[in-house]
Amino acid sequence: MGSSKERINKMPEQATTTTDMESYWLPFTPNRAFKAAPKILVSADGMYYRTNDGREILDAVSGLWCTSAGHNHPKIVEAIQRQAATMDYAPAFQLSHPKAFELASRIIDLAPKGFSHVFYCNSGSEAVDTALKMALAYQRAIGQGTRTRFIGRERGYHGVGFGGISVGGIVANRKVFGPMLAGVDHMRHTLDLGKNAFSKGIPEHGEELADDLERIVALHDASTIACVIVEPVACSTGVLPPPKGYLQRLRKICDKHGILLIFDEVITGFGRLGTNFAAQYFDVKPDLITMAKGMTNGAVPMGGVMAREGIFSALAESAGQGIELFHGYTYSAHPLACAAGLATLDVYSQEGLFQRCAEMATYFQQKLHELKGTQHIEDIRNVGLIGGIQLVSRPDAPGARASEVFNRCFERGVLLRTTGDIIALSPPYIIDKAQIDRIMDTLRATIAAVN
């Protein structure tokens, strides 16, 4: 696992960029501040990025929660190159190619028992909108056409499509975009620092928060609700593991009222908790699972939705010999993405990376919680190879303290993620103990040094 650093050190140094940066509008970025002091990555390998000025950056967040097998894996690179030379593109409407079927079969083999179909898209955002449309179509197909309401959760993140931000619950992602989709309501989030601060793994308190769905059912009536969508672990909002028993209770309430349950596993899918999917980690079977990111190790954009048995067949029976779902994308099942997906699953399996993730999670938890007592830290949370460190906000500048930590850590050669004043960690599964030590030592020194 340690060879990645050796490989990256053999790469040629890159000259500092002189590219005109004005034309590019970066996403989720303060563009003027970025362009005044840009952070430019020019190559990656294993656990490391290299910057345009030749510095090595230890990746503590798998790029953007997605490069779980490490960067530039030779088997994935080779598969993409081979596919590009064989067939660059194939349309997905009324035509297909062998790798699309092979990848779907292999994903179903990893899925919780009882799942039967995979629908492809290109991102987690598209996967969420696809799942929401599937829920509406299914309810209509079984004669429940009045069920059109979606239920999300406060602080949830489900991508940036109008469906995703409507069911999502992060204020900054919603506030400037108007009323969004009609007929959406939200359950309370599950973070409770008064009872669960510094929990190691799954918090003990809060199972009863699932009963908030009963309150919403009483308000709107179950006959109007199509589905509930939650992240098993709410990651982008700052790592909120579900309380013990919460997801199980939510499943029972959905069953009671005929409501579909969607797990957004764009981050937790493909081994992040040490199991194939979080549904298996928590032993809760949803009706639909969204996925992306680790599906191709981030090498080619791809997303998808898995449906349990009965959902496709209901739509097929309703459609007769016609199209079951009037939905899809130009790049659904793109040949390069399918090749990357198949190679990624090979790497996960052949290198035992899900098992490695589970094993490294124990040491990761230990070292993460050793940061307790560092100034400004008011909570630490973790599950699998995911960690969250919540800092006390400056009274006059929420988010500024974590932003300063992010910038200082980058200068010290460690890449983090921040949301508000929460630092998120989600390293590739190939990480070793020395690299975990380096991440935590850098965080400890940096957090202690900021005002």
Among 92, 139, 136, 154, CA closest to 337: 92
CA torsion, points 363, 367, 368, 372, in degrees to nearest 10? 140
Matching residue, tokens 């050796």? 6
pLDDT of residue 238: 96
Residue 149 has pLDDT above 80, yes or no: yes
Query: Of 298, 317, 350, which marks where a domain is finished?
Result: 350
| 103 shares a domain with 64 | no
At 180 the pLDDT is 95
For residue 18, is pLDDT > 60? no
Domain final residue pick, 300, 330, 350:
350
Rounded to whole angstroms, the Cα distance separating 151 from 133 reads: 13
The residue count of the chain comes to 451
Rounded to an integer, the average pLDDT of 348-365 is 98
**Range(s) of the domain holding residue 242:** 78-350
What does pLDDT average to over the chain? 95
pLDDT at 409: 98
Same domain membership, residue 334 and residue 379 = no
If asked whether residues 319 and 182 sit together in one domain, one would say yes
CB burial of 76-109 (b: ≥16 within 10 Å; e: otherwise) equals beebbeebeeeeeeeebeeebbebbeebbebbee
Measure Cα distances from 26 to 3, 23, 31, 396 in Å. 33, 10, 6, 26
229 with 174, same domain? Answer: yes
pLDDT above 70 as % of the chain: 96
Q: CATH number, domain at 444?
A: 3.90.1150.10
> For residue 19, what pLDDT band results from cuts at 50, 70 and 90?
confident
Query: Does one domain contain both 240 and 132?
Result: yes
Q: What is the pLDDT of residues 52-111, one digit of tens each?
A: 999 999 999 999 999 999 999 999 999 999 999 999 999 999 999 999 999 999 999 999
Question: Distance (Å, rounded) from C-alpha 183 to C-alpha 37?
Answer: 43
Strands (E), 88-129: 115-121
CATH number of the domain encompassing residue 169: 3.40.640.10
Same domain, 154 and 261: yes
Same domain assignment for residues 317 and 391 = no
Which of residues 154 and 8 earns the better pLDDT score?
A: 154
Nearest Cα neighbor of 269 from 245, 304, 246, 295 is: 295
Under 8 Å between Cβ of 371 and 377: yes
In this predicted model, what pLDDT tens digit does every residue of 98-132 receive, in sequence order?
A: 999 999 999 999 999 999 999 999 999 999 999 99
What global pTM score does this model have?
0.95
Q: Single out the residue in 289, 324, 350 at which a domain terminates.
A: 350
Residues 140 and 245 in one domain: yes
β-bridge mates for residue 43, sequence order: 50
> Which conformational region is residue 51 in: left (phi greater than 0), alpha (psi within -120 to 50 degrees), or beta?
beta
256, pLDDT greater than 90: yes
User: Total domain count for the chain?
Assistant: 2
**What is the tens place of the pLDDT at every residue in 150-206?**
999 999 999 999 999 999 999 999 999 999 999 999 999 999 999 999 999 999 999
* Residue of 257, 175, 159, 206 lying closest to 167 (CA atoms): 159
* Amino acid, res. 275: T
Indicate whether 30 and 121 sit together in one domain. Answer: no
Judge if 381 and 323 occupy the same domain: no
**Locus of tokens 């080779």:** 78
* Mean of pLDDT values over 390-408: 97
Residue 10 has pLDDT above 90, yes or no: no
